[in-house]
Structure 1
Amino acid sequence: MTMDKHVIEAFLHGQVDCWNRGDKEGFFAHYRSVSPNGLSIEYVGRPQQDAWQVLEGMWAQQQPRVRVQVRQCIINGNEAACHHLNAFRDQEGGIETIELYRFDAGRLSVRYFINP
């Protein structure tokens, strides 16, 4: 069963909006809304960790430092690929990421490719 494209769009744009506004509750609510049956997050090339701990760590370490700029977001069926610039808030530059999202029967799998 394919997840509605509008639901995926609302999640992708909503979580970025919450991140940029510093709305932690809203950010986590977006993740919970699309993953009632489980969440996995992988930083490609690093050991697997608990997804909710990954999000907590990401929020604590990166949210104050970076603002997400969406370069491109492509949704095909139950999957999305996003190219983001994690722009530094207090200096020039940032970190480019390619983020892959797979929505499957109430499970969300995320893979982050980071270009330091």
Structure 2
Amino acid sequence: MSIPDRKTIEDFLHGQVACWNKGDKQGFFAHYREVASKGLSIEYVGQPERDAWQVLEGMWAQQQTRVRIEVKLVVINGSEAACHHRNAFIGNEGGIETIELYRFEEGLLSVRYFIAA
């Protein structure tokens, strides 16, 4: 396994959002498993470290039916990406802005979420 190329990173970033928005939990997790076969870390910046797979499960259970992800900007440089997403509330006004940093290695994915309070 090698470091993912730009197309693989783009496919992951856009694919996982598409699966989230259509309620495809199996597809959502498959995107993560594909790029993080050797390990996944997820950090909500400013919060204690937690198990990444449990973070994704909790995120899905608590937010998927309440939030639609709107992609505002995706920047990919080498094996890293930065995304600006608006997590729009379904059926209500407003949403939550996030900046998400992704670092891809050989079978490893590290994600850092910055959430606007």
TM-score by length of 1: 0.98
Which residue in 2 is equivalent to 1:10?
Answer: 11
Q: Does 1:24 align with 2:54?
A: no
Q: What amino acid is aligned across from residue 25 of structure 2 in structure 1?
A: K
Higher relative contact order (CA 8 A, sep 6+): 2
Contact 2:39 2:109 in 1 (8 A): yes
Contact 2:43 2:111 in 1 (8 A): yes
Report the alpha carbon displacement of residue 99 of structure 1 after superposing the two structures with TM. 0.2
Which residue in 2 is equivalent to 1:63?
Answer: 64
Report the alpha carbon displacement of residue 92 of structure 1 after superposing the two structures with TM. 0.7
Distance (whole Å) between structure 2 residues aligned to residue 62 and residue 72 of structure 1? 21
SS at match of 1:29: helix
Contact 1:81 1:101 in 2 (8 A): yes
Q: Does 1:79 align with 2:69?
A: no
Which residue in 2 is equivalent to 1:33?
Answer: 34
Contact 1:67 1:88 in 2 (8 A): yes
Identical pairs, percent: 71
Contact 1:2 1:77 in 2 (8 A): no
Distance (whole Å) between structure 1 residues aligned to residue 102 and residue 20 of structure 2? 17
SS at match of 1:83: strand
Report the alpha carbon displacement of residue 2 of structure 1 after superposing the two structures with TM. 4.4
Report the alpha carbon displacement of residue 90 of structure 1 after superposing the two structures with TM. 1.3
Report the alpha carbon displacement of residue 55 of structure 1 after superposing the two structures with TM. 0.1
Off by >4 Å, runs of 4+ in structure 1: none
Distance (whole Å) between structure 1 residues aligned to residue 18 and residue 67 of structure 2? 13
Q: What amino acid is aligned across from residue 97 of structure 1 in structure 2?
A: T
Distance (whole Å) between structure 2 residues aligned to residue 51 and residue 3 of structure 1? 20
Aligned length: 116
Which residue in 2 is equivalent to 1:101?
Answer: 102
Report the alpha carbon displacement of residue 3 of structure 1 after superposing the two structures with TM. 2.2
Which residue in 2 is equivalent to 1:90?
Answer: 91
